[in-house]
A and B are shown apart, each in its own frame.
Chain A
């Protein structure tokens, strides 16, 4: 009898691991091994056509001390990230308005969210032409209103290209922020507001003292998404500016792609990737600490 139960248990365990195996294999193959391999590669001289040689910290030294483009990409990524609060603020406003019991709120919500699931490559192309010097909508409006005489080449001007790309990026991700904040707003008990109103708190005080504190996890989740976005937003940059003009819109992710697949310096690109990853993990950790350790937590219980 005990033997039969144990055999049944063994069969169940086999089934469990059999069920887990394919997913584990994919994550091993495309997340864990690549990360470790990157680490190894970053300490080597290596190209597809010659055997590896130990390089020590050569690539890191090169990157941190002599590579101006790396630093430019680094700061651009930081600026890209620092622009997230603008989008989150707009999204918060929209979420508060959509959270009121007005007619058509679902339609408004759908329209604001619609830009998120569309293909980023197409978004990049659309915005590239909106910014066009001669035929773009923005320059048409600016010229018609008499604000400028000649069209502005937004994406070809070093000082304007990064802000222009950031606007397009905020346009795309705004709806996602809004949905997260809206979910947060809807989880706040209405009785809290009623109690506060009875105690004589005005609308602003209720917002300051109830909405904002209770919305904190949602707001920080938006920040984390903003951080991830600034590290992964390859498609938009590649299509709109390809990192130009003269690296003015180069992010770390586009620079890594360029070094690896255009210049075929896989070893150096691996070192860039490691620095990029450590920077990312540090920021995600920081955001998580500031939010009280609950950001991005998935129910694991």
Chain B
């Protein structure tokens, strides 16, 4: 439908992409030189790049501790999501009484943003004794409605005749699940892993509410509180940003297709 000349399209997209990339570039440059605190006007190319600020971040705060916390929470969330969502998605492919009600319930839960539940969620977590714990941080994220439906759609797409044939041959149910259904649902599993990881890795408000203990902080908490710990240092702050952004970006670039498939299959974060 377009009759723009090609160079106009390239120019338009080039400008947008430049606008999208400038903040990233600025962070990277400053983290390598730190110069925009000392030099004015700041230069556009990094001069004398060095890794001093990265080392500085590593030693001036318990960075490794935060990293381990973030990784533990993310692992719990990812594993729980894949297992629980696959189970729920599988159940929803079967016929049973109350199925319509359950689906309605799930869809209405999607309309409750997590942000409007924080006060009672905090009180509940306190009552079951999970404040200041990894499990407490992970639990609310452990099952996602969008991903349940991703799994359901994927299981529905498996031909019934295939499963019936296996049944007639006397293959036990658990083997049908692990030898037929799981291999045929690889893309749903990948989607779920990526979405769960990104949501957990970036999660901020919930840890902020339930974590008081310095040892239990995750990377986003450490990042947000960084300036109160370290002297006003843009270089170190930006180095911290890069160190936190890289894992998310790498995973996104490696699995862009599944990530986008997951996002467009549901309206919003469940």
Q: Which residues of A contact B (CB under 8 A)?
A: 12-13, 15-17, 19-20, 22-24, 26-27, 29-35, 37-38, 41, 90, 93-94, 96-100, 102, 104, 108, 110-115, 117-123, 125-127, 129-130, 134-135, 137, 140, 144, 171, 174-176, 179-180, 183, 193, 203, 206-207, 210-211, 221, 224-225, 228, 231-232, 234-235, 238-239, 253, 256-257, 260-261, 266, 269-270, 273, 276-277, 280-281, 284, 295-300
Q: Are B42 and A16 in contact (CB under 8 A)?
A: no
Q: Are B116 and A277 in contact (CB under 8 A)?
A: yes
Q: Are B124 and A33 in contact (CB under 8 A)?
A: yes
Minimum CB–CB distance for A273 against chain B, Å: 5
Q: Are A295 and B223 in contact (CB under 8 A)?
A: no
**B102: interface (CB < 8 Å):** yes
8 Å CB contact of B267 from A102, A296, A300: A296
Question: Which of these binds chain A: B12-20, B46-54, B58-66, B180-188?
Answer: B12-20
Minimum CB–CB distance for B250 against chain A, Å: 11
Over the window 84-117 of chain B, the binary record of Cβ atoms lying under 8 Å from chain A Cβ atoms (1 yes, 0 no) is 1101101110101000001101110111111111
CB interface residues, B 215-270, toward A, < 8 Å = 219-220, 223-224, 234, 237-238, 241, 244-245, 248-249, 252-253, 256, 259-260, 263-269
Minimum CB–CB distance for A152 against chain B, Å: 16
**B176: interface (CB < 8 Å):** no
Q: Are A224 and B267 in contact (CB under 8 A)?
A: yes
Q: Are B107 and A19 in contact (CB under 8 A)?
A: no
Minimum CB–CB distance for A201 against chain B, Å: 10
Q: Are B117 and A27 in contact (CB under 8 A)?
A: no
Apart from A33-B124, A225-B267: 13 A-B pairs, beta carbons within 8 A = A12-B94, A15-B91, A27-B106, A97-B9, A102-B6, A115-B20, A121-B202, A129-B238, A137-B22, A171-B20, A228-B113, A231-B116, A232-B114
**B37: interface (CB < 8 Å):** yes
Question: B110 to chain A: which residues have CB within 8 Å?
Answer: 296, 298
Given A122-B241, A179-B263: A238 in contact with B224 (beta carbons within 8 A): yes
Q: How many A-B residue pairs have CB under 8 A?
A: 268
Q: Are A299 and B149 in contact (CB under 8 A)?
A: yes
> How distant is the Cα of A23 from the Cα of B252 in the complex, in angstroms?
26
Interface of B is mostly: helix
Q: Which residues of B contact A (CB under 8 A)?
A: 1-4, 6, 9-10, 12-13, 16-17, 19-24, 26-27, 30, 36-37, 40-42, 84-85, 87-88, 90-92, 94, 96, 102-103, 105-107, 109-124, 139-140, 142-143, 145-146, 148-149, 153, 198, 201-202, 204-205, 208-209, 219-220, 223-224, 234, 237-238, 241, 244-245, 248-249, 252-253, 256, 259-260, 263-269
Question: B149 to chain A: which residues have CB within 8 Å?
Answer: 298-300
Residue of A nearest to B265 (CB): A298
Q: Are A300 and B244 in contact (CB under 8 A)?
A: no
Minimum CB–CB distance for A17 against chain B, Å: 8
Residue of B nearest to A233 (CB): B115
> How distant is the Cα of A176 from the Cα of B198 in the complex, in angstroms?
14
Q: Are A121 and B224 in contact (CB under 8 A)?
A: yes
**Can you list 29 A-B contacts (CB < 8 A)?**
A23-B84, A23-B87, A34-B116, A35-B117, A37-B123, A97-B2, A100-B2, A110-B256, A112-B17, A112-B20, A117-B259, A119-B219, A120-B202, A121-B220, A126-B241, A130-B23, A135-B40, A171-B23, A183-B264, A221-B267, A225-B268, A228-B268, A231-B116, A232-B114, A261-B209, A270-B120, A276-B116, A280-B113, A284-B111
> How distant is the Cα of A121 from the Cα of B45 in the complex, in angstroms?
26
Minimum CB–CB distance for B29 against chain A, Å: 10
Q: Are B118 and A260 in contact (CB under 8 A)?
A: yes
Q: Are A38 and B26 in contact (CB under 8 A)?
A: no
Residue of A nearest to B128 (CB): A29
Q: Are A296 and B268 in contact (CB under 8 A)?
A: yes
Given A115-B20, A127-B23, A135-B36: A121 in contact with B223 (beta carbons within 8 A): yes
